């Protein structure tokens, strides 16, 4: 046996139904909100993420599946979707061809991290992006889409947290204040924080080291250093959410781990594996499109971890099998008629199964039970002689004879519950 690679996982029947549910709900919401799907390659030039995600991030420094291909080009499996979507937006001039550049994508991402329960090296994201729209109502719409997804999936104990990290005009002032407040405490922080203080001080807020927390708790908050346009923008976003009755909490530690965020940042937290974890996160990244060689257009979006969403689903959701029919044939003539009926049912859009290997009626009925068939249709010598089929309702155990010509529509009606 050659096992799967560490940090990857198969999604098997019993679990795949949950994935399909999450994907179905996500697609349906996107359609309702006017977001269109695009799919980009999982392999890209390494420099796209070095530039887009940021040279100083852990993702680019430690976690990328980057290699030199046979043509001598540096490529990488994508560690996140946003830079790829920005690239596609610029490369295909999507702002000219799409009525509104509101897009989404679903697919696998790759990061070489230490695998843990619920965290994989190949993981999957649902990713939403809007380009070229500045109005705070767009921030609110994106957050509403994210919130509606979590509500539609009936994920309990979810919590929306918000922050604003400011812009290129006001952030330097905040960074200065942050470093000034750290002052003599800086040497007492962990090695990572020491490095962050030099490369991107905001990222000190990401630190999970226990001993650093009392110091970090005393640091200033970005919302107190916003310039006037940033403050006005953030107030409008909050007012829209309040107007829609979407509950939120301010979280001054929400600076997000990536270099490109500006202004609004947000996360939705939920219960997975007995702890509160981020199910999705995102924000505005007004400089990224230009940084990646495109026109000066703003952007905002979020990425949801599919593994996390599936884990957070309530018990029993998405596992209900589709109601189906099972066809039983007795004797050679009965089996041959049953095979005809099987195909007629499928052609009529009815999910129908039959046991091909076992011939005895008991073995066939056992199979119907295992498949949790809603209806069993029996064709034997008696039925053939009468020109009918015995229909057994597996829930009530009731049986009735139905004329052969009527059996397909009768089964379809019963399965659809009308
Ligand atoms: Zn600002
Ligand atoms: Zn630290």
Ligand 1: centre distance to CA 317 (Å): 43
| pLDDT on residue 43 | 98
The larger pLDDT score, comparing residue 238 to residue 258, is at 238
pLDDT tens profile 55-67? 878 889 899 999 9
Ligand 2: centre distance to CA 189 (Å): 5
Q: Is the pLDDT of residue 321 over 80?
A: no
Whether 229 contacts 250, CB under 8 Å: no
Ligand 1: centre distance to CA 290 (Å): 18
Q: Is the pLDDT of residue 380 over 80?
A: yes
Ligand 2: centre distance to CA 275 (Å): 21
Portion of the chain with pLDDT greater than 70, in percent: 98
pLDDT tens profile 119-133? 899 999 999 999 999
DSSP state of 34: T
pLDDT tens profile 180-203? 999 888 899 999 899 888 888 888
pLDDT tens profile 150-190? 999 999 889 999 999 999 899 889 999 999 999 888 899 99
User: How far, in Å, are 31, 119, 268, 319 from residue 12 at the CA level?
Assistant: 28, 17, 27, 12
Taking the C-alpha atoms of residue 398 and residue 386, their distance in angstroms, rounded to an integer, is 19
Query: What is the chain's mean pLDDT, rounded?
Result: 92
* Ligand with smallest separation from the Cα of 211: 2
Q: Is the pLDDT of residue 275 over 90?
A: no
pLDDT tens profile 198-217? 888 888 888 889 999 999 99
Helices (H), 313-396: 331-347, 361-370, 381-386
21: left (phi over 0), alpha (psi -120 to 50) or beta: alpha
* Ligand with smallest separation from the Cα of 208: 2
The two tokens of residue 231 are 């403050």
> Closest by alpha carbon to 9, among 125, 120, 124?
120
User: pLDDT class for 93, splitting at 50, 70, 90?
Assistant: very high
Give pTM, 2 decimals: 0.88
């Amino acid at each position: 046996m050659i096992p799967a690679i560490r940090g990857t996982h198969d999604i098997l029947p019993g679990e795949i139904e949950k994935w399909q549910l999450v994907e179905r709900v996500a697609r349906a919401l996107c359609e309702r909100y006017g977001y269109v799907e695009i799919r980009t390659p999982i392999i890209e030039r390494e420099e796209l993420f070095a530039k887009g995600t940021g040279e100083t991030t852990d993702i680019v420094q430690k976690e990328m599946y980057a290699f030199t291909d046979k043509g001598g080009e540096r490529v990488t499996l994508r560690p996140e979707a946003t830079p790829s979507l920005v690239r596609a937006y610029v490369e295909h001039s999507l702002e000219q061809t799409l009525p509104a550049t509101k897009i989404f994508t679903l697919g696998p991402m790759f990061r070489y991290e230490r695998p843990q329960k619920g965290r994989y090296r190949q993981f999957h994201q649902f990713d939403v992006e809007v380009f070229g729209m500045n109005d705070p109502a767009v921030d609110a719409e994106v957050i509403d889409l994210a919130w509606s997804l979590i509500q539609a999936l009936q994920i309990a104990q979810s919590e929306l947290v918000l922050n604003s990290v400011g812009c290129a005009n006001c952030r330097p002032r905040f960074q200065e204040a942050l470093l000034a407040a750290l002052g003599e405490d800086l040497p007492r922080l962990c090695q990572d924080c020491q490095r962050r203080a030099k490369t991107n001080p905001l990222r000190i807020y990401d630190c999970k080291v226990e001993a650093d927390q009392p110091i970090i708790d005393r640091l200033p908050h970005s919302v107190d250093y916003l310039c006037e346009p940033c403050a006005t923008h953030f107030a409008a976003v909050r007012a829209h959410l309040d107007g829609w009755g979407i509950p939120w909490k301010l979280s001054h530690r929400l600076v997000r781990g990536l270099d490109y965020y500006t202004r609004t940042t947000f996360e939705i937290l939920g219960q997975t594996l007995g702890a509160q974890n981020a199910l999705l996160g995102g924000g505005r990244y007004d400089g990224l499109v230009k940084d990646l060689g495109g026109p000066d257009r703003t952007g905002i979006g979020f990425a949801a971890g599919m593994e996390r969403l599936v884990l957070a689903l309530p018990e029993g959701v998405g596992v209900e099998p589709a109601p189906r029919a099972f066809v039983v044939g007795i004797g050679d003539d009965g089996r041959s008629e049953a095979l005809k009926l099987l195909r007629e049912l499928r052609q009529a859009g009815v999910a129908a199964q039959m046991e091909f290997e076992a011939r005895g009626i008991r073995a066939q009925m056992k199979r119907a039970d295992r498949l949790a068939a809603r209806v069993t249709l029996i064709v034997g010598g008696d039925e053939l002689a009468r020109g009918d089929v015995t229909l057994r309702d597996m829930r009530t155990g009731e049986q009735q004879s139905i004329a052969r010509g009527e059996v397909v529509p009768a089964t379809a009606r019963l399965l659809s519950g009308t």
